[in-house]
A and B are shown apart, each in its own frame.
Chain A
């Protein structure tokens, strides 16, 4: 994935010329006239007693930011910094005892200087994350190395959280979270891993991180419907949910119902549905009693006008049913299958198809079998009607499969439902016929009256 994205940064592309924006220069970047980067010796070339000081000097040097929007500016400086950063990646990964206490704040300073920036507004004001290609971060050649250093730092066997927690504090985490809105997926991927490590290592920050993520999600759902990093944050949450101790704390159950379920209602669900569904299913594997609120929640937010979303919801329901306990199934079966009956009747063939495909799932079939008295009467009218009315041949074939399955499951109930459906239809037809005849009689009376009127005159 990285290869193709890098190829797309072409400073000579017409796109940058079209805008004809004269670069105003940013206050972040130093002018060309300023001091050039002093060249420093390699860390491998100095004695071990001098390494700490040299390390810190290099880190401070790397705090200087370069303007990548102007491809011609400071080429030498950029290259020096890149080489230095590269050297530091190696140094942090392979060095033993290089993470001394004085070095911690210097590393964090360098990281903050490079990463923490106001994200530029999207080049494309109508950026649609589902359709358009993202705008990539221009300074990626440096940023990627900064992230690497950060990651190796956190993952190093020499890393001591007791020292680290002095510099990686709530303020730092807050700024880190804001970066998740970056349009560049490579950056978000790094951030995801970095935050995962921070959450993992700093128990004192966990509650704070969870609260902030909550806020981001709630703002996303109820205010802006815009945030690029929902998927990445959900992926981290997945690993956190997986590790929840039992019994689940009330805070976590609240989170599921108040945050995760409402996340389903946003228009751009497809961007993070995989991660969201994973989180939901993990919750249910931890505590099966959450099944009812989850299913009812999904039914509450069931898409009414977007068929693609409906198909996604059906996929998620199947994953939930894959892990559902029979006692929980019984609690939700009626309300759930009423929705499924509607889906099966949908004129959108993909929705109907996806719903009918549930019958190809062995476990779901066994649940239906145990509870066929409840489910067959709910499904039957819709299925029987579609078998006569639907336009799509694939759907008809699937409906046959389902009806045949029902017939094999409980012939007697099947026959009863067929008879009563037919009887109902006959009654309905009779009523319609009576109504037509009544109208006809009324019209005749009207005509007779009209004729009489005319006669009188």
Chain B
């Protein structure tokens, strides 16, 4: 079956896609970080992913546009590619990348560094962050005036725009929800395994996965086969246009699927942030009511007589202390992490 020709109305989108493809290589990270630390201060995959999760949470916290997270992780990963970063500086690197991304995307309405620092509980100062931002923007050429980096989001947004534009029978819009697309991409980019693939590949893999799930969701009343076929053929055209080899795409697709699989299985995230639980003095003083109890009287068995331990000559009149109430420990043990 011949592929449908791309209508003229899509010309501007086409040009954007071509431009993105040509600039893609400039913004690609190439992470070579170990799973286990070889030296004490090595940044591991766990530390990188943990930082990505924090940035994701911050993006949700501040209700920022989807760009912010993708630009932030892009800056962070490219920085890690260029320079050897120590684990203890990871928080500083990620937070400064994040606020830099905010400024690039939102301009003046970006949240302040002090605020982000306070919320994220990162162990560095505002001065550290300001200095780090200088370093990051210099090393990566990311000035406020320069264009946004090309990230998988750039491509995913374009693919989505394409498919929405040619969706005459409202099939695509029933299958794919754009917020879910961005969420999937966020989840995938929180995993370092996917960082080194071409952004256009990752975006395509996510789109395929989303369409698969979407079609499966419509099982009781599936869309007509012809619409699905034309969707798939359009994806094939994109793959051709972007020059994505079958072999490379299969590898990327399977990696992306495994990450999405773990997400769908609702497994706990591996890299948990070491959180600080600060409460006021007043609350700390009265956490548990029985914390105030010092001694308790000797237990009296229901069916037996009380046997009192012989007391010393000059002991006071207070009750014999037999059991002390001790509550369980309340602090959480968290894995070591830069945060």
Contacts and interface: CB of A to CB of B under 8 A. Distances in A.
B317 A193 contact: yes
Interface string A367-379: 0010010000000
Interface in A272-316: 273-278, 281, 311-312, 315-316
B331 A409 contact: no
A189 interface: yes
A359 B332 CA distance: 9
A397 B268 contact: no
Given A189-B318, A243-B301, A360-B331, A274 B121 contact: no
Contacts of B308: 155, 197, 200
Interface stretch (A4-12, A40-48, A54-62, A400-408): A400-408
A137 to B, nearest CB: 14
Nearest to B296: A238
Interface string B38-78: 00000000000000011011001100000000000000000
Interface in A178-225: 189-190, 192-193, 196-197, 199-201, 203
A390 B298 CA distance: 47
A315 B287 contact: yes
Contacts of B317: 144, 147-148, 151, 189-190, 193
Contacts of A408: 53, 268-269, 272-273
A353 B283 CA distance: 8
Interface stretch (A76-84, A105-113, A114-122, A411-419): A411-419
Interface in B265-291: 266, 268-269, 272-273, 275-280, 282-283, 286-291
A216 B298 CA distance: 23
A410 B289 contact: no
Contacts, number: 182
Contacts of A319: 288-290, 327
B293 A274 contact: yes
Q: How large is the interface on B (under 10, 10 to 19, 20 to 34, 35 or more residues)?
A: 35 or more
Given A147-B317, A360-B277, A396-B119, A322 B293 contact: no
Interface residues of A, number: 76
A86 B276 CA distance: 57
10 contacts: A161-B305, A193-B319, A196-B306, A243-B302, A311-B283, A319-B290, A359-B277, A412-B263, A412-B264, A413-B266
Interface of A: 93-94, 144, 147-148, 151, 155, 157, 161, 189-190, 192-193, 196-197, 199-201, 203, 235-236, 238-240, 242-245, 273-278, 281, 311-312, 315-316, 318-319, 322, 349-350, 353-354, 357, 359-363, 365, 369, 372, 387, 393-394, 396-398, 400-401, 403-405, 407-413, 415, 418-419
